[in-house]
Structure 1
Amino acid sequence: MVRCGSLYDLSLVDPENHDKRSGMTPAEQLNAIFKQVDKLCPVKDDVLKNINETLVSLHMARIENKQLTKKQQKFVRHYFDTQIYSMLSPQVIDNRHPFPHLMNKAQYIIVRLKEGKNDMQFGIIPVPDFLDRIIYLPEAQGDYVLLEHVIYHQVERIFSEDNIVSKSIIRVTRNADINLNEKEIDEDEDYREYMKKILKKRDRLAPIRLEYYRTMDDETTAFLCEKLNLKPNQVFCSKSPMEMDYFFDLIDQAPNVLTKPLLYKPFEPQKKCSLDLDRPLIPQLLQHDELLFYPYQSIDIFLDLLMEAAHDKNVLSIKITIYRLAKNSRIVNALVEAAENGKEVIVLMELRARFDEKHNIQEAQILEEAGCKILYGFEDLKVHSKVMQFTVKTRKQIRTITQIGTGNYNEKTSKQYTDISYITGREDIGADGTAFFRNLLMSNLEGQYDHLLVSPFQLKEAVMKMMDEQIEKASSGQQAKIYLKMNSITDVDLINKIQEASSAGVEIRMVVRGICCILPGVPGYAENLHIISIVGRYLEHSRIYAFGNDDDMKVYISSADFMTRNTEKRVEVACPIYDEKLKKRVLEYFKLQLRDNIKARQMQSDGTYKAIETMDAPLDSQNECMRLAEEMHPKKSKEHHVFRAIASHFRRN
């Protein structure tokens, strides 16, 4: 919806544009993608088939129609008659009933009917999204059938069986890359209302993919391609369910005794850090820095700090940049309470956070109604940084506490993504944080900072300068190192600089989870470059940049991947870690990932990945982080929990 969507748009407005990395035009890139997707579909089908076979023994399997017992067949037929049939809206497509708009990712049953007087006829039935998708079967504990499959197998009772030539389940994927043009905004219309109008257009954008279930005859395929303006290579067969969201409900509804062997051992993020959580946090943070590693440590520590700031009479203002939020966000609740308590609250809410736009609009409205000052970023740049700062009045002066993170202010994803959150009362970082928010308020993207690296104007240049320092060291025979951890790397300038550093003899170690447009171990270019990807229980999301030898290494955490969209087209922040103990923790964390030989895969010089062969003891870096976090966590008395509950109550009230 996003990458192919943007390429589709580019193919219309600039068809001869050649990508810097691949040298392909947009159409050539799309064709290459569709070719790979065609290979991936059977892999997905095989994976789901194997999973379903595993679930058979646990009575949690999806049952095929031909496997139903007579009693189950009778049940399904009765269920269709009483629970489904009256909810369906079948339509014949002809001159008086034109081809309907197919909603993005919605499922439909399409049938080809015997030819009428003039042409082929088709019928279509939307699969209702307001009905339960999982239909549990009798005699089978937790075995089930899916709603769309029930309709598919009962469709002859809607369209006469003698009249049906072929049938299939289909799903359309539409372009979701909405383009904004602020010149379209009316003089009396604010940005939020403009975004609401733009979002309504998303479901009307062009189709870029058509999927069908198991079989679909050539006539139906040709008909749909014509109506949807698709080419045959944009049509894909799926022998497994096309929409997999129902698996969350399946697991949630199943008894624990069945799901226990399927799920990871429960882990609760630990509320343990260098702060004394029984005392006010703000005075402590004015004395020393704190570093939190999610999901191993709990975001509750940060949330408690924010709520404390909302009620502390000495806190004068709170400023924050927000990209994505959880539903029923405690962040929003704390900011609302701060505003209601008379504090200045300034929120830069990025309304263009893909697929969270509607939610962010709603939360911005709540904050504004509570008295917060809301900003909406810049016309051409998304604000993707994760920065929060509040000012505190002490006896002698006004101080700041600044928090900078690699991930969003989202309670849900903080339990699923690995991220780092740095909280400091340092005056030098605080001064840059103050300048950063002042520049946002004044739409000044070219502000200068002494410590923070801010894109789109300083971050890439500063990173390349630090790489040059390591190149100079290596060229003079000194030991030189670069450590990098991120989601993706596609920026050509940074790729070229990394290759230059490797050729100069700099030892480079990278942890890149996803897209990686640089190859390690290529003779003459990247002999000293080693890259691993870790895909495990948690989504690796933190970004770390480090330059130098271990005893004098410059260490940064950041919100930015090495992608052109991050380094040149977004507002991002990288923050140095000066405290030696905290710097050591970041480096130990990075090196632990380099030692991972269970979930890590090493990238080869041809772009493939291989499991790591080693004589070392097995090590899963995420499991080790959980173990270390639990070891750090002290046992709390009942009195402690009662105290925390009382303290929390008084902060809220």
Structure 2
Amino acid sequence: MDNVYMNRELSWLKFNERVLEEAENKEVPLCERLSFASIYQTNLDEFFMVRVGSLQDQSLLGKKIKDNKTNMTAKEQIEEILRRVHILNERRDKVYEELMSRLKEWGFSLTDFRSMEKSESEYMERYFAMEIEPLISPTVVGKRQPFPFLRNKEIYAVAVLETKSKKQRIGIIPCTNSMVERLIAVPDRSGTYMLAEELILHYMPRVFKGYQIRAKSLIRVTRNADIDADALYDEDLDYREFMADLIKKRKKLSPVRLELSREMDGDIVGILCKYLDLEEARVFRQSTPLDLSFSSKIQDMLRKNPELFFEKRTPQKSSSFEDGRGIIEQIRESDKMLSYPYESIRPFLRMLNEAAEDENVISIKMTLYRLAKQSKVVEALVEAAENGKEVVVLVELRARFDEENNIEWSRRLEEAGCQVIYGLEGYKVHSKLCLITRKNEGKIEYITQIGTGNYNEKTSRLYTDLSLMTADPDIGMEASAVFQALSKGETVESSGHLLVAPKCLQSRVLEMMDEEIRQAKEGQPAYIGLKLNSLTDKKIIDKLIEASEAGVKIDMVIRGICCLVPQVEGKTENIRVISIVGRFLEHSRIYIFGCGERARYYIASADFMTRNTVRRVEVAAPVQQQNLKERLQAMFDLMLRDNQKARHETADGSYLFVRIEDPDTVKVNSQEYFYEEAYEKAGQM
């Protein structure tokens, strides 16, 4: 059955290819295309740091671990990854060149010294001498000066230096400096700039006087970031301080990739690779700048041209809530569900603020994974603690690349009197769970919020997510049991309404799939609908294949990795997979089992990846109120009809844009539709 499986890493590259397609898409506004090119690059950085880093560790340790779906070894996976990345990067270079050419029409351009007048070159030399040269720290590698440590993802100018006696040395200058403007304006040429690293590279002869420059290039090293906190943790250490030290160690891990901005002689590349202990196969030469983060500054300069950007959209007031009444009061009357970014996160924040001030509230408990830099969520929790409420917060310090932010927030929460828990040994806590406990007329009542995305005001404007708020006592008691287990360093052993990983999610999902298989075998309508970021869990994949073979109709909206190949005759022909990559990052998770009156609906923090289903604490919540069930189904159905940003996966594993065969077919961009709907509903208030 190998032809129904796809390797996880190669599937992820297909996802990043879809991101690159948005940069190539001429129907996307110009500055937004530049954003997609930048996202492609930052995605690839993280992929090399985490996934290639993990495969490199496996390979170096001599582990004969094979991918459980395709039987590829770590070495085979790395080889295929490198081959495909070279192909994708050629497309990236081509589209970057096109975008820069188009930007000239709007008054922005990047230049080099070949295009400069003498007076401009003289200005640039003076600028370099006054503004940059005093701040740089050049190194000549030799017996007394070892090859310097190259920081992860920072840019360096490297030159082959030749002495008068024909001996060769390596000269290196760091180019990443917060004191140096990245975009340097060329005088008397409005909108024309030069990248600081190109200026430094050009004036290397001035820095390394007495040497002949035989070759030079900008370089950038990507380092392994795959480090197992639990495997290294010593119980005698303070966990927060241990994590802070671990972050420092991660910055010094071994290189997994070297990028060059210029062609260099093979011998020189070999020398660099020897210093970095890196295989030459990991070297990538590119014409695109090594770091596209300056694209945000270009956008700022061109913001006055609205046609270069997506139409401005603002999260709208949810029609589920009435003005002039308390949020908690309204949740007690009926379940509520917010859909980001179309609806504002404000009702949730108001709920927290009300709880902080409500004399009937005894406690607020939350799991925090990724937070905004200026977090209103933390402000509300701090206020609650200062008002004498019991505030228990699980801050997951192992949220990759957000550890430093979370460490700082955990300190602030502790200082305010909150009880802070730092996760569980062996399990990341990825659930999005908030529990408010009230005592009303002598009775305990719960307000529970379960979400698909982080408590982050910034990403709530950029990611599609769902947030369910309910006063259901059964869900409240189960949420309370989750927090009790977390406080004791344990996991939930059983649950009735909530699906709680690591022990009560995968098994329950498989049971519900088995029920659909049984229905199909009895000749009854059977259905599974899933919206996920990724699908890699082999047990679930195999059950989906079994369900397809039994005749269960299966629709899946999967943004990223999908290790199951649909539409394979006799095996997965009843499975349809689409991926929506558009203006907003699709992040919500929806599970649907059954059809008609039998249909059960859940929203969840968990993708169907083994790391989520059995190695993390995750929570899926049932959506029980009829109007909310209908809303979820309508949303899911509309995404399946998307014919603008959706790609469907074919039986050979490729992704093709959903084509409109009939010219009379209405164009459907699901994300734009949901925003129009939110504006319309808000206008009816």
Please give the TM-score of this superposition, normalised by the length of structure 1: 0.95
Q: Which residue of 1 aligns with 2:26?
A: none
Pairing 1:293–2:342 present: no
CA–CA distance in structure 1, aligned partners of residues 187 and 667 of structure 2: 45
Give matches, 1:262-411, under 5 Å: 262-411=308-457
Which of residues 621, 632, 635 in structure 1 aligns to 2:681? 632
Counterpart selection for 1:621 from 656, 670, 685: 670
| C-alpha spacing 1:554/1:14, structure 2 compared with 1 (3 Å) | farther
SS in structure 1 at match of 2:446: strand
Confirm or deny: 8 A CA contact 1:5 1:208 kept in the other structure. yes
Cα distance in structure 1, aligned partners of 2:164 and 2:429: 56
1:484 lines up with 2:562 in the alignment? no
Instruction: Name 2:203's counterpart in structure 1.
Output: 154
2:639 corresponds to 1:593? yes
Determine the C-alpha separation between the residues in 1 that align with 2:474 and 2:225: 41
Aligned AA (2:187) = P
- Listed one character per residue, the Cα deviations across residues 106-135 of structure 1 (whole Å, up to 9, x for unaligned) are 110000012676953111101142111111
Q: Assess, with a 3 A threshold, how the Cα gap between structure 1 residues 53 and 341 changes in structure 2: closer, same or farther.
A: same
Residue 215 of structure 1 is matched in structure 2 by 263
Counterparts of 1:546 and 1:450 in 2: how far apart (Å)? 17
Structure 1 residue 136 and structure 2 residue 201: aligned?
Answer: no
Whether 1:572 aligns to 2:621 is no
Structure 2 letter corresponding to 1:204: K
For residues 68 and 386 of structure 2, the distance between their equivalents in structure 1, rounded to whole angstroms, comes to: 51
- CA 186–574 in structure 1, closer or farther in 2 if over 3 Å, else same: closer
Amino acid at match of 1:314: N
Given residue 65 of structure 1, which amino acid in structure 2 is its aligned partner?
A: F
The amino acid of 2:197's aligned partner reads E
Shift, 1:143, TM fit:
2.4
Question: Match of 1:164?
Answer: 213
Tell me, yes or no, if the aligned pair for 1:502 and 1:525 is still in contact at 8 Å. Answer: yes
State the match for 1:34 in structure 2. 82
> Once the 2 structures are TM-superposed, how far is the Cα of residue 304 of structure 1 from its aligned partner?
1.2
SS at match of 2:90: helix
Distance 1:387 1:116, change over 3 A: farther
* Residue 124 of structure 1: aligned partner: 172
CA contact (8 A) 1:182 1:379 kept: no
Pair 1:182–1:481, CA change in 2 (3 A): closer
2:68 aligned partner, one-letter code: K
TM superposition shift of 1:261 = 1.9
Task: Give CA deviations for 1:476-535 in whole Å, capped at 9, x if unaligned.
Answer: 111111100101111111111111111111111100111111111101111111111000
Shift of 1:35: 1.4
Post-superposition offset of 1:410: 0.5
Q: Which is worse superposed, 147-156 or 506-515?
A: 147-156
Separation of aligned partners in 1, 2:284 and 2:199:
22
Cα pair 1:439 1:447 within 8 Å, conserved: no
Instruction: Kindly report which structure 2 residues correspond to 1:479-628, keeping only aligned pairs within 5 A, or say none.
Output: 479-614=525-660, 615=662, 616-628=665-677
Cα shift at 1:551:
3.3
Contact 1:137/1:144 (CA < 8 Å) preserved in 2? yes
1:286 and 1:424 in contact (8 A); partners too: yes
* Secondary structure of residue in 1 paired with 2:203: helix
- Distance in 1 (CA, whole Å) between partners of 2:67 and 2:163 is 47
Pairwise CA distance, 1:257: 2.1
- Residues 184, 594 of structure 1: alpha-carbon distance in 2 compared, 3 angstrom cutoff: closer
- 1:256 corresponds in structure 2 to 303
**Residue 96 of structure 1: aligned partner:** 144
1:551 is paired with a residue of what secondary structure?
helix
Distance 1:550 1:61, change over 3 A: farther
Distance 2:67 2:505 in 1: 23
The answer on whether the counterparts of 2:163 and 2:210 sit within 8 Å (CA) in structure 1 is: no
Greater Cα offset, 626-635 or 287-296:
626-635
Q: Which has the higher contact order (CA 8 A, sep 6+)?
A: 2
CA distance in 2, matches of 1:50, 1:286: 55
Question: 1: CA distance between counterparts of 2:323 and 2:286?
Answer: 52
Provide the C-alpha distance between the structure 1 equivalents of 2:575 and 2:302, rounded to a whole number of angstroms: 48
Which residue in the other structure is 1:76 paired with? 124
SS class of match (2:598): coil
Shift of 1:182: 6.1
Aligned-partner Cα distance in 2 for 1:447–1:495: 24
CA deviation after TM superposition for structure 1 residue 184, in Å:
4.5
Give the structure 2 partner of residue 227 of structure 1: 275
Greater mean deviation of Cα atoms: 25-34 or 501-510: 25-34
**Is 2:109 the counterpart of 1:61?**
yes
What is the letter of the counterpart of residue 347 of structure 2?
A: I
In structure 2, the residue corresponding to 1:41 is in which secondary structure? helix
2:286 partner amino acid: S
Q: Is the 8 A contact 2:494 2:503 kept in 1?
A: no
Would the aligned equivalents of 2:534 and 2:559 in 1 still touch at CA under 8 Å?
yes
**Match status 1:237 vs 2:289:** no
- State the AA in 1 paired with 2:568: V
After superposition, what is the alpha-carbon deviation per residue over 1:125-179, rounded to whole angstroms, capped at 9, x for unaligned?
A: 0114211111122333222111101111121211248611000000000001122
Q: How does 1:460-471 map to 2 (within 5 A)?
A: 460-471=506-517
Secondary structure of 1:170 counterpart? strand
Tell me, in whole angstroms, the C-alpha distance in 2 between the residues paired with 1:369 and 1:426: 33
Deviations 1:552-597 (A, max 9, x none): 3100111111111111111111111000100111111111100100
Gaps of 5+ in 1: 637-653
Kept in 1: contact 2:513–2:543 (CA 8 A): yes
Deviations 1:176-231 (A, max 9, x none): 112224665362x3210111111110111000000000322212201111011111
In structure 2, the residue matched to 1:15 is 63
CA distance in 1, matches of 2:176, 2:578: 44
Question: Alpha-carbon deviations, 1:22-41, whole Å to 9, x = none?
Answer: 21222221122111111121
Deviates more, 1:543-552 or 1:108-117: 108-117
Alignment deviations for residues 270-293 of structure 1 (CA, whole Å, 9 cap, x no partner): 012312132111111111110000
Q: Does 1:424 align with 2:470?
A: yes
Shift of 1:313: 1.3
Amino acid at match of 1:171: R
Structure 2 Cα separation of the partners of residues 277 and 13 of structure 1: 61
The residue type paired with residue 13 of structure 1 is L
Q: Matched residue pairs, number?
A: 633
CA separation of 1:38 and 1:437: change in aligned 2, threshold 3 A = same
Instruction: Out of 354-363 and 120-129, give the one that drifted further.
Output: 120-129
What's the CA shift for 1:432? 0.8
Tell me, in whole angstroms, the C-alpha distance in 1 between the residues paired with 2:235 and 2:600: 48
SS in 2 for 1:354: coil
Equivalent of residue 46 in structure 1, options 68, 80, 94: 94
Moved more, 114-123 or 556-565: 114-123
Q: Counterpart amino acid of 1:311?
A: E
RMSD, aligned CA: 1.5
